[in-house]
Structure 1
Amino acid sequence: MNRPLSYRFAEFVTRRSWWILSVWVVLAIVLRTAAPSWNDIAYDGDFEYLPSEMTSVQGDRLLDDAFPGIQSRSQIVLVLGREKASRSSKVELLKTDDIVGLDLLRRLYHRLGVVSWRRGLEHGYTSGNPEDTPNAAWASWITLSREALDQSIRLDQRFYERVAEQLPDVKSTHTEPRMAIAYWDRGRLLEAWGGEDEMVEGDYEAALLLIPDLPSQVIPITERDLSGWDSLLDVLAWEDPVVGPRLRKDGVRLAVLKLSSELAATGNIKTIDAVNELIDQVTRYSMPFTEPGLELRMTGSAAIGGETLMGARDAIRYTELFTVGMILFILTAVYRAPLLVAIPMISIGFAVVVSMSLVALLTRWSMQGIVPGLDIRVFTTSRIFVIVILFGAGTDYCLFLISRLREEARVSAWPAACRRAISGVLGALIGSAMTTVVGLGMLWIAAFGKFHYTGPVIAICLLVGLLVCTTLTPALLRVCGPAVFWPSKVQQQKRKPRSLLGPSGSQLASQEHSGFWGRIAILLTRYPATAMLIGGALLILPATYGFKNEGSVTYDLSSQLNHQAESRRGLRLFAQHFNIGEINPVTVLICRAEDSARADLKKDVRKLAAELYQQEGVTTVRTADDPLGDFPPSRDMSLFGSDAARRRILQNHRVAQRYFFSDVPKYENRLVRLDVMLDGDPFSVETANRVIKLEQFLKQHLNSEGSNWKTSGIDTKVLLAGTTPSIIDLRSVTLSDNRRIKVAVVVAVLLILILVLRRFFLSLYLILTVLLSYYATLGLTVWFFKLAYGNDYVGLDWKLPLFLFVILVAVGQDYNVYLVTRVLEEQRHLGAIAALRRAVSRTGGIITACGLVMAATFFSMTAVVWFPPIARTFGFASESGVALRGIVELGFALGLGVLIDTFYVRTILVPSFMALVGKATGK
């Protein structure tokens, strides 16, 4: 007898149960041991994964090539000030507020001195022999270290003078936090690299006077823990006599920490922790010296990027915790049987360990080039999707298998029941899983790296989950036997001829179909047209709203963080006094085809800067001639006035050295850098449009006929870098990806449905119901968060519509496939309407349970918002995490969408359509 493949597979699993269990245990151990940690191979950020041909990516690459080792890729801005009552009002800092500022800066400059010294050592010339010839990199870092230590000591002296002046009753301490170690460090620096003996001895004497046993306490410079500070390149602060005027206004002072790390580099978490520790030290020591109301906040691109990573970390922690907790609760409520709770949890645990270890191992092989052609990357936030989808889908697979096993165990012996259950659900499980796998796999066609890699990674993990649930789970059930249902029992009954809704004449059929889902089945099949029209009409209104607001998204990175995030609070304080664009300039890179004299190049730059000031929205242009943009063409300046003197000093300050012109031979006297500040929010559409116009102007102007920039008939290359150009490219790429991916996902899922169901119009209808569900979910999500955020609503996270679409279209078909395949199975023995009633009544409860599980796993992504306050209300200690709005919004939307699919689409729209078709065809 030629038995179906599904039956032969089921027979193999049930006969080789112990062998299958052993294989999975060994596989999990081997992969877990061999695979690297997820955090070690995970990437972060958004801009880094734009296509290489985008303008901002080429600009960043050119910056790295032309300014190696000194390129600041992000920054932290420390804001010391008092809040204004309104934008137009004025506020002044108190004299005692200077004490706090001096305390902050003396600590900052000391850290800069130590970091620069260490970096100088790393660049060679460590012997200290005056006969050695130092290289330029070594000399610049040692010089910066000396300047920073000098500044730290001067500020330390002023700090205690100010304390004595303003608060004569306060006794100063000559222990910590006196900067005795700064004297010692400067003495060691001077002693090692040619300082005068008197200065060296003076520094040692000052250090020992403050702390006599300091030598026994000092850690050598090469052994000091610089965790969090190793990316620090420079500190620009309001006390600097040259750049200081641009960093202070009435009521606020700024200190800018220039960092070598990317905006969203994982190392920025340690940097934020280190800066927060420094702020805490200043707050504890010197804040009591002044009046309440003074704030010391942190913001800037690195602060926003770092806190975004912290938000992802918190979201992962809460999501994993609540995903497991919610599934345990639902399984316990559904089964009230210990083994039926344990077996799905064990199965999913194996699926998570094996799949994530496999992906991590493949990623490392891809990064190292071990496997030719392998191209896999993972991201920090990818872990969230893997966890929730694996736990949700895996639990659903287990629930359907166990539900079918319970049915079969009533009429068959345990081995036969296991075979029948596996064989009966295998097609539905594979079909539903493949819609998700193929749908998510379509993200591979995306140009944006995060989309391109995330979908296939989740698909791989889901395939592993499917394999676990169709092998390991039934093997566990087979080994445990009927005891899995303990403390309840399954009474075996003989099979009887099928009736309309079940075994004829049996008490079982009466009990099953007199229940809730039995009544729903009867109602839907009696009035299918009414149910379908009313059901569809109720979704049309929110779906229309969602369709109109599908583009209502924001690319504002800072808006991802909640109001309590430190960088958001710092940004609000900064924005009260400064234009936010001042810490997010647009970097313009102009590269001529041929070399030219430096003097001629500077002359052309001055002329270009004057023309840039005439462009819409341009407030400041920073060039080598005007490094801070303090002297626009409209500003009158005499040749021998104070402004002219300050301008000359600025041109020789370190902020201008090796910044506007490259010293790399390849680009020397060819490459020019300008920083352009625009009026407005760098994340807004209005600013983006201004930057696009600015780029068009530069390309047309510099390459027009007769332009001094065009040499030998070859066009000058113009590239833009910075936050706004990166957002422009990100928006362009993701919008293009959205259009292509949505079409690809719909077509791919439709083909899978046709392949599985063999019903074209039914498959097409299922796609249409999920599309309706998607737009209705999107509309309700927009409405909810507009209400929740109020005036703070600027749009949903830009990633939400695409991920919501792909996951809902793919995952949302699971329950439709479960129902329809059961209907088609029942139609082998019953008529269309009878089969539909039986399928709805038999699957209604279990599909509802599956939908609740999947929705609960998605809603767990929002736990970082609501759990901490609830825990504190009941007296439990719980720290508030840094909630990422994008993850919270997506978790809410996905959970809502699954509930709509479970309780509305599958319950009303799909059965009513099948009833109409059944009545019309008479089948």
Structure 2
Amino acid sequence: MHRQIAGMLTGRATKWLVLGLWLVVTVVASTFAAKLVDVQNNEASSWLPESAESTRALEKLTSFQDPNSIPTVVVYEKSSGLTEQDLAAATEDAKRFAEVEGVEGEVVGPLPSQDGEALQTIVTFNFGSDGWNSLPDAADELKEIAGISGGDVYIAGAGGQAADSAEAFGGIDTTLLFSTLSVVIVILLLTYRSPVLWILPILCAGVALFSSQALIYFLAKYADLTVNGQSYAILTILVIGAGTDYALLLVARYREELRRHEDRHEAMAFALHRAAPAILASAATVVLGMLCLMLAEMNSTAGLGPVAAIGISVTFLVMVTLLPALLVICGRWVFWPRVPSFHSPEPTQSGIWARVGRRIAVRPRTVWVATSLLLAVACLGLLRLDTSGLSTEDSYTREFQSITGQQALEEHGLVDRSNTVQVVADAAQGDAVRQAMAGVEGIASPSDPVVIGDVAYVEAVLDQDVSSPAAFDAVEAIREATHAVPGADALVGGGSAFYLDTKEASSRDNQVIIPTILVLVFLILTVLLRAIVSPLILVATVVLSFGAAMGISALFFEYVFGFAGSDPSFPLFAFVFLVALGIDYNIFLMTRVREETQTRGTRAGSLVALTSTGGVITSAGLVLAATFAVLGTIPVVFLAELGFAVALGVILDTMVVRSVLVTAINLDLGGRIWWPSRLDRADRTVQPVAAPDLESVP
């Protein structure tokens, strides 16, 4: 029945119907896909955990301040010393700042440093809910106005950081897309060695990306789905990388079937029938793994789940409908110059993976034990992985003006007055809360309580970077002091409190989501392979591969790239992508092992599976690794680290875990990997395996 459905999708008439349908979808989707950037939400609320204290404080703070207000600091620095003329110029600048569109309230400053080499002026912007998108232009206008002879000017504070963040993600919709496509095209050209064939997977990946972006746009606009710059970047990488992987698997199986069937429509029906279950299992694993992210407290993490799941689901539909239709429409010539003719020999039978399989078969137990030990040693690098978080200065791979401005403030003893800790409490206990705060080190003198209704508001300036450990210590000390005030019901918020709550929520998400995904992957493999032992083995190998990839990455982060640490959410994101995507290659391999075991036995079937899938899985791994490595083009440390770790992990999965470790275990254990099913029950002896006859199974 499955073959009949596959045949219907690629029949002589239906192939044109499928093509026409996707053409209509693409034309409509391309219009709305371009609007996805416009509905991104990069405000704090799109990242903040809903249950966090800083979130609950924010709800009460709306009576005292507009949540859309963004304090911005203009920093003047002159190493030779500021003159009276410089101070007069900065004072005149402050008057002009007040006239800039979006400025609200009083412009504070200029405030000079004690060493006479720096000034700061504080400007507050309010563009409503669109504030974070409007800040880059506003920051540029401030920079055009400000200036002193022989000195430098920087835009810092919350507004400067927002403007720089927008610059870091600027052009992501085009730069990242073209960079990813360029890398994939090169790899496909090397893989297929055809000047034409690579076009079809790329076209299908583009259709999948536009279609998923359009669908996500509607959900973001009308169903409150959270999409930010981070999830947008990952969506592009994921769709193109996974889509190309699915295409490689299908095209490889189609090429096999073209050597067995004279009619290309019949060949595609068989190819789709045999490849689709593995592709479906792979896509389902990624989709369900991504949906597990919805268990996260972090809105940014939870929002990525459905975004990525939609992208993979749409990609799967495109690759099992549009790509097969295009392949049969084009005919055999699309493989030129290596056209697979009817009854021609299968070239993989004598390829590199056939030789690797024969070498492993000599001493499989020695191979898998040695490989496991090497991977375990690589895991020791995890001891150097610091996930305590990154300061603003360390969050980017290049220096932005907000960072330089912050450094100037610290160097000249000026406190960034835009970084405040904000406390709301019961009105009757406002003075007691203020007194409790006054005893905390690391903050300026708290303001007098402001009372509105039954709520009192107290504010104090933090004299540390907003995301530094020192600021976190101050926030924790303030919480401890104010929570101890009887009847105050104090809530501590502000920028540093937000970052601290983000760190704690990420730690909680790691502990909840990682075990959930492991259980889910095991259940999927159990259903797919109809066994228990082999799924346990596969999950164990992927976890070992993950640990090795993270260990090696941690050493590179510290000793090669010079990163100061990692974001608290980095382990979770790396785990999700490495496990959900890394298990794909084991699915591709083991479904073929199971298919061949039914006629050849486990050991011989394992060698045939390695020989048949080795080339395509290696190519798929290179594509996915290269696409994630493209994340390094974005000057954000989190994305650069994620791209490197996932790329390294995928290479380990394809080159070591899948090809060597899993194959060696299969050869050593034989039919025992299928327990408790009856598959290959007779194969109980543990013996070296001679190279099997690799002639294709009819």
Tell me if TM exceeds 0.5: yes
Alignment of 1:478-877 (within 5 A): 478-493=328-343, 508=345, 512-546=348-382, 548-549=383-384, 552-578=387-413, 582-592=417-427, 605=431, 609=434, 612-615=437-440, 617-624=441-448, 661=450, 667-668=452-453, 670-678=454-462, 680-701=464-485, 703=486, 715-790=487-562, 793-864=563-634
Counterpart of 1:14 in 2: which secondary structure? Answer: coil
Q: Does 1:253 align with 2:249?
A: no
Q: Does 1:14 align with 2:2?
A: no
For residue 139 of structure 1, what is the aligned residue in structure 2?
Answer: none
Q: CA, structure 1 residues 721+810, in 2 after alignment: closer, same or farther (shift >3 Å)?
A: same
Q: CA deviation at 1:104?
A: 4.2
Q: CA deviation at 1:681?
A: 4.3
For residue 639 of structure 2, what is the aligned residue in structure 1?
Answer: 887
5+ long unaligned stretches in structure 2:
673-680, 685-698
Tell me the distance in 1 between the aligned counterparts of 2:233 and 2:106.
Answer: 36
Q: Does 1:339 align with 2:91?
A: no
Q: CA deviation at 1:363?
A: 2.2
Counterpart of 2:11 in 1: which secondary structure? Answer: helix
Deviation digits for residues 414-462 of structure 1 (CA, Å, limit 9, x no counterpart):
1211111111101111111111111111111112111112112111111
Q: CA, structure 1 residues 422+64, in 2 after alignment: closer, same or farther (shift >3 Å)?
A: same
For residue 905 of structure 1, what is the aligned residue in structure 2?
Answer: 657
Identity of aligned residues (%): 26
For residue 62 of structure 2, what is the aligned residue in structure 1?
Answer: 64
Q: CA deviation at 1:14?
A: 2.9
Q: CA deviation at 1:309?
A: 2.4
Tell me the distance in 2 between the aligned counterparts of 1:316 and 1:27.
Answer: 20
Q: CA deviation at 1:550?
A: 5.2
Tell me the distance in 2 between the aligned counterparts of 1:111 and 1:340.
Answer: 57
Alignment of 1:60-209 (within 5 A): 60-68=58-66, 73-82=69-78, 93-95=81-83, 98-112=84-98, 114-115=99-100
Q: What residue identity is the alignment partner of 2:444?
A: T
Deviation digits for residues 112-155 of structure 1 (CA, Å, limit 9, x no counterpart):
1x35xxxxxxxxxxxxxxxxxxxxxxxxxxxxxxxxxxxxxxxx
Q: CA, structure 1 residues 248+318, in 2 after alignment: closer, same or farther (shift >3 Å)?
A: farther
Contact 2:157-2:416 within 8 A present in 1 as well: no
Counterpart of 1:296 in 2: which secondary structure? Answer: strand
Tell me the distance in 2 between the aligned counterparts of 1:444 and 1:104.
Answer: 49
Q: CA deviation at 1:698?
A: 1.7
Q: CA, structure 1 residues 678+386, in 2 after alignment: closer, same or farther (shift >3 Å)?
A: closer
Q: CA deviation at 1:234?
A: 3.1
Counterpart of 1:674 in 2: which secondary structure? Answer: strand
Q: CA deviation at 1:387?
A: 1.0
Q: What residue identity is the alignment partner of 1:348?
A: A
Q: CA, structure 1 residues 81+326, in 2 after alignment: closer, same or farther (shift >3 Å)?
A: same
Counterpart of 1:410 in 2: which secondary structure? Answer: helix
Deviation digits for residues 338-367 of structure 1 (CA, Å, limit 9, x no counterpart):
331111111111111111101111222214
Tell me the distance in 2 between the aligned counterparts of 1:53 and 1:467.
Answer: 37
For residue 39 of structure 1, what is the aligned residue in structure 2?
Answer: 37
Q: Which has the larger radius of gyration?
A: 1
Q: CA, structure 1 residues 836+52, in 2 after alignment: closer, same or farther (shift >3 Å)?
A: closer
Range 679-688 or range 736-745, more displaced: 679-688
Q: CA deviation at 1:313?
A: 2.4
For residue 596 of structure 1, what is the aligned residue in structure 2?
Answer: none
Counterpart of 2:484 in 1: which secondary structure? Answer: helix
Tell me the distance in 1 between the aligned counterparts of 2:277 and 2:96.
Answer: 67
Q: What residue identity is the alignment partner of 1:614?
A: G
TM-score (norm: length of structure 1): 0.69
Q: CA deviation at 1:76?
A: 1.9
Counterpart of 1:474 in 2: which secondary structure? Answer: helix
For residue 303 of structure 1, what is the aligned residue in structure 2?
Answer: 160
Alignment of 1:193-592 (within 5 A): 229-238=101-110, 244=111, 249-260=115-126, 265-279=132-146, 282=147, 287=149, 290=150, 294-367=151-224, 376-413=225-262, 414-493=264-343, 508=345, 512-546=348-382, 548-549=383-384, 552-578=387-413, 582-592=417-427
Q: CA deviation at 1:700?
A: 2.0
Q: CA deviation at 1:94?
A: 4.6
Q: CA, structure 1 residues 52+488, in 2 after alignment: closer, same or farther (shift >3 Å)?
A: closer
Q: CA, structure 1 residues 350+523, in 2 after alignment: closer, same or farther (shift >3 Å)?
A: same
Q: What residue identity is the alignment partner of 2:587?
A: V
Tell me the distance in 1 between the aligned counterparts of 2:45 and 2:65.
Answer: 20
Q: CA deviation at 1:82?
A: 3.6
Q: What residue identity is the alignment partner of 2:666?
A: M
Contact 1:586-1:725 within 8 A present in 2 as well: yes
Contact 2:278-2:591 within 8 A present in 1 as well: yes
Q: CA deviation at 1:57?
A: 1.4
Q: CA deviation at 1:322?
A: 1.2
Tell me the distance in 1 between the aligned counterparts of 2:325 and 2:444.
Answer: 70
Q: CA deviation at 1:731?
A: 1.8
Q: What residue identity is the alignment partner of 1:77?
A: V
Q: CA deviation at 1:807?
A: 0.7
Q: CA, structure 1 residues 513+36, in 2 after alignment: closer, same or farther (shift >3 Å)?
A: closer
Contact 1:315-1:887 within 8 A present in 2 as well: no
Contact 2:77-2:118 within 8 A present in 1 as well: yes
Q: What residue identity is the alignment partner of 2:370?
A: I
Contact 1:444-1:455 within 8 A present in 2 as well: yes
Q: CA, structure 1 residues 325+541, in 2 after alignment: closer, same or farther (shift >3 Å)?
A: same
Q: CA deviation at 1:45?
A: 3.7
Range 521-530 or range 247-256, more displaced: 247-256
Q: CA, structure 1 residues 912+887, in 2 after alignment: closer, same or farther (shift >3 Å)?
A: same
Q: What residue identity is the alignment partner of 1:109?
A: K
Q: CA, structure 1 residues 462+264, in 2 after alignment: closer, same or farther (shift >3 Å)?
A: farther
Q: Does 1:26 align with 2:24?
A: yes
Q: CA deviation at 1:389?
A: 1.0
Q: CA deviation at 1:820?
A: 0.7
Contact 1:562-1:568 within 8 A present in 2 as well: no
Query: How many residue pairs were aligned?
Result: 672
Q: What residue identity is the alignment partner of 1:366?
A: A
Q: CA deviation at 1:41?
A: 1.3
Tell me the distance in 1 between the aligned counterparts of 2:462 and 2:196.
Answer: 64
Tell me the distance in 2 between the aligned counterparts of 1:72 and 1:422.
Answer: 52
Q: CA deviation at 1:264?
A: 7.9
5+ long unaligned stretches in structure 1:
84-91, 116-228, 239-243, 368-375, 495-507, 594-600, 625-659, 704-714, 865-882
Deviation digits for residues 498-529 of structure 1 (CA, Å, limit 9, x no counterpart):
xxxxxxxxxx36x6444311110111122111
Contact 1:781-1:892 within 8 A present in 2 as well: yes
For residue 501 of structure 1, what is the aligned residue in structure 2?
Answer: none
Counterpart of 1:759 in 2: which secondary structure? Answer: coil
Contact 1:688-1:725 within 8 A present in 2 as well: yes
Contact 1:797-1:889 within 8 A present in 2 as well: no
Contact 1:36-1:361 within 8 A present in 2 as well: no
Contact 1:248-1:254 within 8 A present in 2 as well: no
